[in-house]
Amino acid sequence: MLRLILTIFFFVIISSSHAEIKDKIIQNLKNTKNLDFKFEQNINGEIENGNCTIKYPKKIYCEYARSNNKILVSNGKSLVVKTISSYYRYPLEKTPLNLILDKNFIIKKINSLEARIIENNFINFTILEKNYEISIFFDNKTFDLIGWQNTDMYQNFNITFLSSIRKNRVLPKKIFKLPVQN
């Protein structure tokens, strides 16, 4: 009987702790209008890095650090990836970023998912939606979004880590304007 009581007590403590974590992440997301950060991205073993700005909902602007002047821009409807020699435009809704950049979608999913604590540093939620599996990671102390992993539209495995995160800054008005093709 004592074992049963201890098991129930332990389960209640863990459940309330996970609920508190989820509430803090949700509140942090609700309070975040935009964020900018440095990123490191690993796509099938190829490492790229640079700086990004996200404005909710569904807008992103990234400048990659390599010499080919690569940028990635979403205006909320389309996604453009442009380099010196290439230009690709996709409907945002056909990419995993459509879900990753939608904080209301993420909040809704977090409410219905179990949090996984990883090495006492990270909080992870795995979202299964529209043939995508997206793992989203949050910092266990600040409750900030710190990365995601997913498979992209070309079946490439993509891991993105965020650092030097700053929130709710004044953004240039035209930052999310799609670049034109040369």
Domains and CATH numbers, the chain: 24-167 (2.50.20.10)
Buried b (16+ CB within 10 A) or exposed e, 127-137: beeeebebebb
Tens of pLDDT, residues 115-127:
999 999 999 999 9
Prediction pTM value: 0.86
Taking the C-alpha atoms of residue 144 and residue 138, their distance in angstroms, rounded to an integer, is: 5
> Minimal CA–CA distance to 32: which of 140, 145, 161, 171?
145
Tens of pLDDT, residues 65-108:
987 789 999 999 999 999 999 999 999 999 999 999 999 999 99
Residue 18: pLDDT band (50, 70, 90) is low
In contact, 54 and 34? CB cutoff 8 Å? yes
Can you give the pLDDT at residue 17?
Answer: 57
